[in-house]
């Protein structure tokens, strides 16, 4: 198994560690969750860079790398909803967009067409990782020092990051679907 594929598997394991730490009532659980998420995001970056540099892209990596990303993001969003850091409607939009685009890509693949990732989709993913990271770091800081109430700036920053992620998610999903809508039409006829 190639090193990039091992990093993808590591990301899945780190997702489980992240969820366990987020849901536990153990001391420093938020700090462990933030660290696991950070290492998982780093592994996402590294596996792509290494796969291209070492020219060892595999079918496993093409399938599992984006899937591992979606599992990590969805798990983090569910945990943030459970901790009331974000509202459920925002998480539903973010997760649903990924399901719909994954479905479109699978539909295209069943017709022998491989759809490349869209730059707007990469921006959307980066915005989600920043938004999630913001809340995880804020929660970890709350473990290190007593915070009676977060400042208005921190609260507004979180809301802006959630809003930006939702807008980018809708925009990138619309852009991707519009560019490839012909596949859906052709598939509906066959």
State the DSSP H helix or E strand holding residue 27, giving kind and residue range, or none if neither: none
Tokens of 159: 């809301």
The predicted-structure confidence for 52-104, as pLDDT tens digits, reads as follows 888 887 878 877 888 899 999 999 999 999 989 999 999 999 999 999 988 88
pLDDT digits 0-9 by tens, 144-163? 887 767 788 888 999 999 99
Level-2 CATH architecture, domain 3-189: Up-down Bundle (1.20)
pTM of the model: 0.89
User: Which residues, 6 or more positions from 4, have their beta carbon under 8 angstroms from its beta carbon?
Assistant: 46, 47, 48, 50, 51, 54, 56, 57, 58, 61, 65
Q: Buried b vs exposed e over 33-52: b needs ≥16 C-beta within 10 Å?
A: bbbbbbebbebbeebbebbe
Q: What is the pLDDT of residues 116-130, one digit of tens each?
A: 778 888 899 999 999
C-alpha span between 83 and 25 (Å, rounded): 12
- Going 73 to 75 to 80 to 81, the CA torsion angle's sign is positive
């Amino acid at each position: 198994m190639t090193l990039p594929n091992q990093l993808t598997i590591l990301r899945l394991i780190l997702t489980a560690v992240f969820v366990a730490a987020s849901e536990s009532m153990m001391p420093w659980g938020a700090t462990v969750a933030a660290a696991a998420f950070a290492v998982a995001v780093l592994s996402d970056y590294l596996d792509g860079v290494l796969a291209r540099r070492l020219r060892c892209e595999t079918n496993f990596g093409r399938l599992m790398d984006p899937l591992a990303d979606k599992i990590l993001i969805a798990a983090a969003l569910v945990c943030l909803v459970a901790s009331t850091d974000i509202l459920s409607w925002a998480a539903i939009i973010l997760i649903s967009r990924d399901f719909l685009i994954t479905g479109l890509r699978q539909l295209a693949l069943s017709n022998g067409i491989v759809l490349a990732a869209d730059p707007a989709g990469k921006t959307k993913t980066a915005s989600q990782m920043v938004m999630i990271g913001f809340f995880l770091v804020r929660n970890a800081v709350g473990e290190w020092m007593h915070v009676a109430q977060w400042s208005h700036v921190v609260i507004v920053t979180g809301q802006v990051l959630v809003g930006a992620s939702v807008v980018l998610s809708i925009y990138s999903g619309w852009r991707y679907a519009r560019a490839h809508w012909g596949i859906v039409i052709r598939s509906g006829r066959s």
